[in-house]
A = this chain, B = another copy of it.
Amino acid sequence: MSVESSRRQKQQAALGQLLQLAMLINEDMEHGLGRVGLTPSRATLVWELLHLGPSTQRVLAEAIGVSPRNVTGLVDALVDTGFVVREPHPTDRRAALVSFTEHGARIAEQLKRDGEQLADDLFADMPDGQFSALVKGFDVLMARLCELIAQAKEKEAQR
C-alpha cells in the first residue's frame, strides 16, 4: 500500500467523519426542537424572524430559501401552535406582518441560548491551539468547497 493510497483512505475517513458529525449535531438539535414543539423547518423560520423582526411572508420566503406557498404552510402551523401571529401590514393591505407571540419570542430566545450552550459544550474543553487549528481547517474547507461549487455551476451554465 503506497503512501498516497493511505492518505486517500484517511481523506475518505475524514469526509465520513465530517458527515457523521453533522448528522449527529442535526439530530441533537432536531431532538431539542421537538421538545419545545418545533420542527426543523418551522425553527428555521422562527430563527429568521428573531433576526429580522416582524416580516412579511415574502421576506421570510427569501430569507429561508423556500417558495412563498411553503411559507404560508409554515406560518399556518406556527400560528396554530401559538408561536407567531399574522398582523395587518400598516401600509400594504395585501401583505401580512408575521411576528412573535410572547411564547414564540420566549422559545426563540431559548433556541439562541441552546445554540450558545451547544457551542460551549463542544468546544470549551479544547485547548486554544487545537481550537484554532480546527477553525483554520474549517476555513480552508469552506473556501475549497465554495470554489468547487462555483466551478460546478460554471460547467452547468455552459450547457
Contact = CB atoms under 8 A, between A and B. Distances in A.
Contacts of A21: 18, 22, 138, 141-142, 145
Count of chain copies: 2
Interface residues of A, number: 50
B18 A120 contact: no
A60 B33 CA distance: 28
A26 interface: yes
Contact of A134 (B26, B137, B148): B137
Nearest to A145: B24
A15 B115 contact: yes
Contacts of A125: 144
A7 B128 CA distance: 9
Given A135-B17, A145-B25, A124 B11 contact: yes
B123 A14 contact: yes
B14 A19 contact: no
Most B C-beta atoms less than 10 A away, residue of A19, A145, A149: A145
Contacts of A149: 24, 28
Contact of A8 (B15, B120, B121, B144): B120
Interface string A7-42: 110111111011111111110100100000000000
A119 B22 contact: no
Those 4 A-B pairs whose CB atoms lie nearest each other, nearest first: A22-B22, A134-B137, A133-B133, A15-B119
